[in-house]
Structure 1
Amino acid sequence: MGDLLVDPGVLRDEVRAKYREVATQPQGAFHFHTGRSLAERLDYPAETVDPLPEAVVESFAGVGNPFAPGPLGRGETVVDVGSGGGFDSVVAANQVGPEGRVVGVDMTEEMLDRARATVASLGLGHVEFRAGLAEDLPVPDDWADVVISNGVINLCADKAAVLQEIRRVLRPGGRLQFADIANGRPVPEEARRDIDLWTG
């Protein structure tokens, strides 16, 4: 584990348990916002979100809008790190069009099941979801034009490993567009060792 402050396996188990609930009970009470109201709070354009079926949007639990820096280009290849129920992957798919490709990667089987069912119902054949970790992406080297991520890197114990993986899968000249949580003030070490605070 080196100098990591929490055990990555234990942290993953806690995160999986929380997002399993979001996948299977999206209308449940959580300590964070979800669904359409969250997408509106995060300034996703109404014309992007309104046409999407409820199954696509209801388990959305991001922290920002990774498309705010700019839309993706037609035909681009995209990796969505921590794709959850597939909301951002579907948004990406609509931006890159059928000539593009989107690969969502998530570690929670219930989220993968939801995302796969969603893209099948929408007929988005250029989107697929793979089981995997942000620190070990099941994507070839130099494959992606763009990597997107929404509220996931902060939930990983080894952020350096995540960023190295993102760099590995990006083509030369590729870009990372992500939204995440950052703290501008020092956090006491005892708090950083408390897994409940990581997931809370």
Structure 2
Amino acid sequence: MISNFTLVDKAQIKKNIENKYLKVAVISDGQFRYPTGREALETLGYDSNILITLPRSVADSYCGTGNPFSLGKIEKGETILDFGCGAGVDTLIVAKIVGDRGKAIGLDIIPKMLEKAIENRNILGLTNVNFIISQGDELEFANEYFDTIISNSVINLVPEKESTLKELYRCMKLGGKLLLVDQIFIGEKIKQHDVRVKSWFQ
């Protein structure tokens, strides 16, 4: 695939994302035109039985436009990737779902966000979840490594979307699930929409 982005373009995009999410790592409230924190988790229909186990300091760092867990069932014992995990709230929720026999890995490009994710993990005392920094274009995982990949409002930020989706597919097991929620802008005037995509690769 021929890229429409130069290295300078990609560097500028990365810098813009970092500048935005450095602020979000400190406080997500007021940084977006949609709800964040516990209010967003409740509005988006996250499992109330899990939400009650999240301290306010953890829940308040949530930032997303949708609920990937509404798109498909995740089983205990699965190995999960959260692509673009941010402060790690979805990663920690999925770690609770898969249990001690499962594993959750959160990936992000912003070191400050991963610091917050690790802080949240330590608050919850979870041992089946890790966070790693990655640019996302070439993932360090073996082919067919993950049972399920989730992503919440991240693909819209990626310059090379086709390449990224191919790389996610490479890392996903045959018959695995890609649970992706995102936002797009359409029309002459910018309008925000949620896009929920559920994919099973056979």
Shorter chain as denominator, the TM-score bin is: 0.7 to 0.9
How far apart, CA to CA, are the structure 2 residues paired with 1:74 and 1:187? 45
Map 1:1-200 onto structure 2 (within 5 A): 2-4=3-5, 7-183=9-185, 185=186
- Equivalent residues of 1:149, 1:177 under 8 A apart: yes
Quote how far apart the aligned CAs of 1:120 are.
Answer: 2.1
- Equivalent residues of 2:3, 2:160 under 8 A apart: no
Quote how far apart the aligned CAs of 1:4 are.
Answer: 4.0
Return the TM-score normalized by structure 2: 0.84
How far apart, CA to CA, are the structure 1 residues paired with 2:34 and 2:72? 26
Return the TM-score normalized by structure 1: 0.85
Number of matched pairs: 188
How far apart, CA to CA, are the structure 2 residues paired with 1:106 and 1:75? 23
- Equivalent residues of 1:151, 1:180 under 8 A apart: yes
Quote how far apart the aligned CAs of 1:48 are.
Answer: 2.2
Identity of aligned residues (%): 34
Query: Which protein has greater RCO, CA pairs closer than 8 Å, 6+ apart?
Result: 1
Q: Which range is displaced more, 45-54 or 127-136?
A: 45-54
- Equivalent residues of 2:86, 2:108 under 8 A apart: yes
Quote how far apart the aligned CAs of 1:105 are.
Answer: 0.2
Structure 1: gaps (5+ residues): 192-200
- Is the strand fraction higher in 1 or 2? 2
Quote how far apart the aligned CAs of 1:9 are.
Answer: 2.0
Structure 2: gaps (5+ residues): 191-202
How far apart, CA to CA, are the structure 2 residues paired with 1:182 and 1:79? 23
- Equivalent residues of 1:105, 1:137 under 8 A apart: no
Which amino acid in the other structure matches residue 3 of structure 1?
N
Quote how far apart the aligned CAs of 1:43 are.
Answer: 1.6
Give every structure 1 segment of 4 or more consecutive aligned residues whose post-TM-superposition deviation is greater than 4 Å. 185-188
CA deviation map 1:21-42 (0-9, x unaligned): 1111334554443101111221
How far apart, CA to CA, are the structure 2 residues paired with 1:178 and 1:171? 16
The 3-state SS of whatever aligns with 1:174 is strand
The 3-state SS of whatever aligns with 1:180 is strand
Quote how far apart the aligned CAs of 1:186 are.
Answer: 5.6
